[in-house]
Amino acid sequence: MPTTSAPQPGSTDPAIIRNFCIIAHIDHGKSTLADRMLQLTGVVDERSARAQYLDRMDIERERGITIKSQAVRMPWTVTEGEATGTTYVLNMIDTPGHVDFTYEVSRSLEACEAAILLVDAAQGIEAQTLANLYLAMGADLQIIPVLNKIDLPSANPEKYAAELANLVGCDPEDVLQVSAKTGLGVEALLNEIVAQTPPPVGRADAPARALIFDSVYDTYRGVITYVRVVDGKLSHRDRIKMMSTGATHELLELGVISPEQVKADHIGVGEVGYLITGVKDVRQSRVGDTVTTQAASATEALGGYQHPNPMVYAGLYPIDGDQYPDLREALDKLQLNDAALTYEPETSGALGFGFRCGFLGLLHMEITRDRLEREFNLDLISTAPNVVYQVAMEDGSVHTVTNPSEYPEGKIAEVREPVVNATILAPADYIGTIMELCQNKRGTLQGMDYLSEDRVEMRYTLPMGEIAFDFFDQLKSRTKGYASLNYEFAGDQAADLVKVDILLQGEPVDAFSAIVHRDAAYGYGVMLAGKLKDLIPRQQFEVPIQAAIGARVIARETIRAIRKDVLAKCYGGDITRKRKLLEKQKEGKKRMKMVGRVEVPQEAFVAALSTTQPSTDKSSKK
């Protein structure tokens, strides 16, 4: 195993730096390949090695997915070719694969010159493979095509090497074949990274400019900022300036990640490192901002990032109202680490004070809620997710609706909903099944291409509201897990949408309201009314549960009253006495029903909201 001490940070010649990232579909082996590279380059020894070393969060290790990009610096001495014996510095960024974390990938690409496009030799090209490839091409990166898992019995490297070569525009012989699990071919891949990746370009004598591509909050040290230096250099104890806000700070510590933090006196052109200024205010370090020095400030900021628009909105409420300030602080800190998260305060009559949060998708929402509960010890309720609608009234006014409670009253001229361009890759055997599912979800087929004899790419325009619930789960179950999905925002379209309210005792409960397609309204109303009938405990009086569109009730369930046995002590005797007691009880129930208030326990909210999935799928209306 070739190991040589790496050049020290700051004194590294940009000509021997190689910045690259690994991009792939979910489960194609990015993190495992990163593990092998860490071992081969000697930055992680046998004793401290563990599977998915760069997946630092417990939730990543439990779910087996990468959520956060991780950067690491590795030395590598070339073992073959013209540069044999020369030691290079490799800065590798391991990226997520799920469509909800595409924004993480796009940020990582800005810090690199090359991308390893990794494809599973047993599964072939998937939807997210294509999406990440287009992102890398858009960032003008050198693409290095690699087939992984060639040791699997079901691997078909010849077939998929031809597919990958056709996609990238190279010869099948140029596609590298590795097994990240056994380490086969990884050494040759590292040599190829050195040969194919262009060195970083920048001016060492220019004013310092560094791009912030990530940042995290540390309880003890404050905000830790990850940067890629483009021009000049940053040194220990420099006073640095954030170009977007004009805020200045002293650099208390800087260095590189290899794979733990290693302090340095300075970092220069092309290097990827971290900065610590001791700042506790998380808003001071924005992803996409340019860092420069106060003494010799740069005049022009770097390009930064296009901010992502949230696709799905949901309310997050603390079960204990006293935790509201803690939730605000937790969201502040989490937003620093996850720039795609947006939030604003809102109030619900049923749930109290909380926040309306915007997410890139359902998995992003699930992971965010999970992280808030684990990392900040919060107990939360999340409302049913929904997308952003534009509601045009007959008087010409237009309302933006991110929450069903904002849906306007009065005469509505048109409701517009967001749509996405979805790409589905699947075996050709499942074309009919996928078409049926997409038609049930109000999709429009835009085109279909065969990637090979048995693999097809289908392109649909689908309403985001339909994808945001159970579309992905149904797609996987109907295709036995073989189909893959990728989507991107594609504007909006007019749709026949209505607001369904759930009334308890004639009063609407805002937490259960939803905006659904008119065809799905009845199914949603029946489903939720039935669920609440089972979840809400019986009261002293009869409680009607109604689903209504405006003033029209479309579904109803009734919770029967708890009846005390008032005839228990009436043995024999005249029937009129028993009738009198029953009439008296009936009058009492009637009076209580008029003044009684229905108590909905927190468990009922949690249970009802966690499984609320409106759908136009025919199977849900049975």
Phi, then psi, of 591 in degrees rounded to 5:
-65, -40
Q: Are strands 266-267 and 272-276 parallel, antiparallel or unpaired?
A: unpaired
**How many alpha carbons fall within 13 Å on the CB side of residue 337?**
21
Residue 229 · residue 267 · CB < 8 Å: yes
Calpha distance 383→520 (Å, rounded): 19
**Residue 6: CB partners within 8 Å, gap ≥ 6?**
73, 74, 75, 87, 89, 258
225 is in an annotated binding site: no
The full length of the chain comes to: 622
Q: Per-residue b/e over 122-151, b at no fewer than 16 CB within 10 Å?
A: bbbbbbbbbbbbebbeebebebbbbbbbbe
Calpha distance 28→279 (Å, rounded): 38
Distances in Å between the Cα of 574 and the Cα atoms of 189, 522, 569, 580, 581 are 97, 49, 13, 11, 12
Nearest alpha-carbon partner for 269 in 314, 205, 319:
205
Calpha distance 1→12 (Å, rounded): 23
The one-character DSSP state at 566 is: T
What does 41-68 look like in DSSP terms, one character per residue?
TTSS-TTT--TTTT--SHHHHHHT---S
Phi, then psi, of 97 in degrees rounded to 5:
-115, -20
Q: Considering just the CA atoms, what is the radius of gyration of the chain in Å?
A: 29
* Cα maximum dimension of the chain: 112
280 is in an annotated binding site: no
Whether the CA torsion 129, 135, 136, 137 is positive or negative: it is positive
Residue 327 · residue 378 · CB < 8 Å: yes
Distances in Å between the Cα of 380 and the Cα atoms of 337, 361, 453, 601, 606 are 20, 19, 49, 14, 9
31 is in an annotated binding site: yes
29 is in an annotated binding site: yes
The residue behind tokens 């072939």 is 124
Per the DSSP assignment, residues forming a β-bridge with 548 are: 501, 553
**Residue 46: CB partners within 8 Å, gap ≥ 6?**
39
What does 184-227 look like in DSSP terms, one character per residue?
BTHHHHHHHHHHHSPPP---TTSPPEEEEEEEEEETTTEEEEEE
Angle, helix 127-138 to helix 157-168, in steps of 10 degrees: 30
69 is in an annotated binding site: no
30 is in an annotated binding site: yes
32 is in an annotated binding site: yes
**Residue 421: CB partners within 8 Å, gap ≥ 6?**
446, 459, 460, 461, 487, 488, 490
Phi, then psi, of 173 in degrees rounded to 5:
-70, -20
Q: Which residues are annotated as a binding site?
A: 27-32, 148-151
Q: Which residues are annotated as a binding site for GTP?
A: 27-32, 148-151
